[in-house]
Structure 1
């Protein structure tokens, strides 16, 4: 078990590589830009304090599988969670499949949306997927560093695959990494594990 001193020391070591980095900004924008670095830009709104550990840019690898797939696939991903000082967080995730040598096989899932914490500790998470699916999640913190959410509504375009429900669990793990697992009910199958990943902080 990691001691408090060890955790603080590990965080300081990570910050030597990530604390000076932030999102690229266009300097001619007439309004403040988003920040994924809590040391820079607008102050985080108090409503978002329960989500503070999520703010940053994260990169890493995971595995995707489902009964409809012929096998499991390795993938890489970048998740950006940023804010502009208002009581919500911006979310963007980009993924790409990897071959057995770790080289890019092809582009994969892409999603964008908003984390909207509420006064009763409920979290609303709205996600729009490039595959034509829009999901509304509700959840609550499980601890100061873990958040569990499930879909309340799923809407899809006529050309999208059938998705009826999903669950996600995010948590800060392994000395500061961001881990998550996702389950999905889709294409006639009941809720089943779909993907999981562990991501390292690269900004913030």
Structure 2
């Protein structure tokens, strides 16, 4: 609506409303605080927490590289998990050498007649202009999923497929991420071992 057009209903009620208070709902990666975990997420409970560790990256980079990473998997009482990853490259002396991939996403168990099974859906998005939809299964302490659809921005990275495997092994979060793109089939992209530091 142009500024010189008068709204016959008057200004919208939010136009001159006072500032809102801080977000009134809590989300957490610590199962001892905040809202109760939704019953549909009980199968994913081992993944909830804050994790830090190291890994190695590869394709599509021309050479392998080492990185450090922090992953936070949290909930707000509803039937999905929020996933956030921050990674940074390490130099030959294991010192920070610059930021690497950041990723945000949501993991959702598929509900059938209101009850969760082992089927999973996940959306994952990076700063490289790529949004991936994954489908897979969560069984025990293992989550495996593959891309069902990928959307790229016009300048986004040329990603055409992905496969991810997460698992809790001896209390650590291990994962392997394969990627296809740039005319190449699925190839090792990232793998890491992270230790629980919170939650």
TM beyond 0.5: yes
**1:31 matched to 2:24:** yes
Runs of 4 or more off by more than 4 Å in structure 1?
none
Q: What is residue 80 of structure 2 aligned with on the other side? A: 88
TM-score, length of structure 2 as denominator length? 0.85
Larger helix share, 1 or 2 = 1
Report which of the two structures shows the higher radius of gyration computed on alpha carbons: 2
Residue 191 of structure 1 aligns to a residue in which SS?
strand
User: Counterparts of 1:30 and 1:184 in 2: how far apart (Å)?
Assistant: 36
User: Counterparts of 1:168 and 1:117 in 2: how far apart (Å)?
Assistant: 16
Alignment size in residue pairs: 174
Match of 2:40 among 37, 40, 47: 47
**1:133 matched to 2:130:** yes
Larger strand share, 1 or 2 = 2
Q: What is residue 195 of structure 1 aligned with on the other side? A: 190
Q: What is residue 113 of structure 1 aligned with on the other side? A: 105
User: Counterparts of 2:101 and 2:61 in 1: how far apart (Å)?
Assistant: 15
User: Counterparts of 2:71 and 2:158 in 1: how far apart (Å)?
Assistant: 25
Q: What is residue 155 of structure 1 aligned with on the other side? A: 151
Residue 31 of structure 1 aligns to a residue in which SS?
coil
Residue 50 of structure 1 aligns to a residue in which SS?
helix
- Cα 1:30–1:65, aligned 2, differ >3 Å: closer, same or farther? closer
Q: What is residue 18 of structure 1 aligned with on the other side? A: none
Instruction: Render the CA deviation track for 1:49-83: whole Å, top value 9, x for unaligned.
Output: 111001001000000012x4332100001001000
Q: What is residue 141 of structure 2 aligned with on the other side? A: 145
Residue 31 of structure 1: how far off its partner (Å) = 1.7
Residue 48 of structure 1 aligns to a residue in which SS?
helix
Match of 2:95 among 91, 97, 103: 103
User: Counterparts of 2:131 and 2:61 in 1: how far apart (Å)?
Assistant: 22
Instruction: Render the CA deviation track for 1:70-104: whole Å, top value 9, x for unaligned.
Output: 32100001001000000001110011100011111
Residue 121 of structure 1 aligns to a residue in which SS?
strand
Structure 2 residue ranges without an equivalent (≥5): 1-20, 112-116
TM-score, length of structure 1 as denominator length? 0.83
Residue 102 of structure 1 aligns to a residue in which SS?
coil
